[in-house]
Amino acid sequence: MWRKLFVLVLAHGFALGSLLAQHSYTPADVEDGGRLFRTNCTNCHGPNGDAIPTIDLGRGRFRQVYSDTDLVRIIRNGIPGTPMPANNFDEFRATTIVAYLRSMAADEARPGALAGDATRGKALFAGKGECFTCHRVKGTGSRSGPDLTEIGAMRRGTELERAMLDPDAEVLAGNRAFRAVATDGTEIIGTLLNQDAFSVQLLDSKDRLRYLQKSDLREQGYVAKSPMPAYRDKFNAQELADVVSYLSNLKGLDLP
Amino acid sequence: MITRALFLFVLSALAVQAEVTSERLLGARQEPQNWLTYSGDYNGQRHSPLSAITPENAKNLELQWVFQARSLEKFEATPLVVDGIMYTVQAPNDIVAIDAVTGRVFWIYQYRPSPAARPCCGRVNRGVAILGDTLYMATIDAHLIAIDTKNGGLIWNIPVASPEAGYALTVSPLVIKDKVVVGTAGGEYGIRGFIAAYDAKTGKEAWRFYTIPGPGEPGHETWPADSDAWKHGGASIWTTGSYDPETNLTYWGIGNPGPDWNGDVRLGDNLYSDSVVALDADTGKLKWHYQFTPHDDFDYDSTQVPVLADMEWKGRMRKVMMFANRNGFFYVLDRTNGQFLLGKPFVEVTWASGIDETGRPVKIAGTAPTRDGVLVYPGVQGGTNWYSPSYSPRTGLFYIPTWANYSTVFIKTPVKYEEGKSFTGGMPRSTVPSLRAAQVNNRKEEEGYGAVRAVDPKTGERKWEFKMSDVTDGGILTTASDVLFSGGRDGYFFALDARTGALLWKANVGGPIASGPMTFAVDGRQYVSVSAGSALFTYAVRK
Residue type, A158: T
A28, A173, A195: residue with CB nearest B372: A28
B285 touches chain A (CB under 8 A): no
B495 touches chain A (CB under 8 A): no
The answer, yes or no, to whether ipTM is higher than 0.90 is: no
A1, A92, A194: residue with CB nearest B442: A194
Which pLDDT score is estimated for A23?
55
Share of chain A above pLDDT 90, in %: 43
Which pLDDT score is estimated for A115?
84
Chain B residue closest to A191 (CA)?
A: B442
B371 touches chain A (CB under 8 A): yes
Q: Which residues contact residue A194 at a Cβ distance below 8 angstroms, ignoring those fewer than 6 apart?
A: A200, A201, B440, B441, B442
- Give me the torsion for CA of B154, B156, B160, B165, rounded to 10°: 50
For residue A109, what pLDDT band results from cuts at 50, 70 and 90? Answer: low
Q: What's the rounded Cα separation, in Å, for the pair B492 and B486?
A: 8
Least confident of A142-151, A188-197, B7-16, B409-418: B7-16
Q: B357, B343 in Cβ contact below 8 A?
A: no
CATH topology of domain A173-222: SH3 type barrels. (2.30.30)
For residue A48, what pLDDT band results from cuts at 50, 70 and 90? Answer: confident
Q: Comparing A2-108 with A118-170+228-248, is the CATH topology the same?
A: yes
A1, A26, A196: residue with CB nearest B228: A1
Q: What's the rounded Cα separation, in Å, for the pair B236 and B304?
A: 12
Give the start-to-end residue ranges of the domains of chain A.
2-108, 118-170+228-248, 173-222
B506 Cα to chain A: minimum distance (Å): 10
CB contact under 8 A, A196 and B228: no
So which residues of B are the catalytic ones? 299
Chain A residue closest to B512 (CA)?
A: A196
Interval B277-284 mean pLDDT: 98
Q: B105, B97 in Cβ contact below 8 A?
A: yes
CB contact under 8 A, B416 and A8: yes
Give the start-to-end residue ranges of the domains of chain B.
22-541
Chain B residues in contact with A194 (beta carbon < 8 A): 440-442
Chain B residue closest to A28 (CA)?
A: B372
Interval B437-456 mean pLDDT: 93
Hey, which residues does A209 pair with through a beta bridge? A203
In sequence order, which ranges of chain A are alpha helices (DSSP H)? Answer: 2-22, 27-40, 42-45, 68-77, 91-108, 118-126, 151-154, 157-165, 237-248
B215 touches chain A (CB under 8 A): no
pLDDT in tens, A55-92: 888 888 888 888 888 999 999 989 988 889 888 888 88
- B184: closest CA among B145, B234, B111, B231? B234
Which pLDDT score is estimated for A112?
63
CATH topology of domain A2-108: Cytochrome Bc1 Complex; Chain D, domain 2 (1.10.760)
Q: Which residues contact residue B92 at a Cβ distance below 8 angstroms, ignoring those fewer than 6 apart?
A: B71, B73, B111, B113, B117, B123, B124, B125, B139, B140
- Chain B interface mutation, best of A198, A213, A214, A220, highest count of B Cβ atoms under 10 Å: A198
CB contact under 8 A, B441 and A16: no
Q: Say which CATH superfamily domain A118-170+228-248 falls into.
A: Cytochrome c-like domain (1.10.760.10)
pLDDT in tens, B391-422: 999 999 999 999 999 999 999 999 999 999 89
Buried b (16+ CB within 10 A) or exposed e, B138-156: bbbbbbbbbbbbeebeebb
Chain B residue closest to A1 (CA)?
A: B226
Position B14 pLDDT exceeds 80: no
A255 Cα to chain B: minimum distance (Å): 28
- B307: closest CA among B23, B39, B11, B3? B39
pLDDT in tens, A200-239: 999 998 889 999 999 999 999 999 888 899 998 899 999 9
For residue B480, what pLDDT band results from cuts at 50, 70 and 90? Answer: very high
Chain A residues in contact with B227 (beta carbon < 8 A): 1, 4-5
B414, B442, B467: residue with CB nearest A193: B442
For residue B8, what pLDDT band results from cuts at 50, 70 and 90? Answer: very low
Q: What is the CA radius of gyration of chain A?
A: 23
A27, A90, A197: residue with CB nearest B469: A197
Please give the CATH number for the structural domain made up of B22-541: 2.140.10.10
For residue A12, what pLDDT band results from cuts at 50, 70 and 90? Answer: very low
Which pLDDT score is estimated for B342?
98
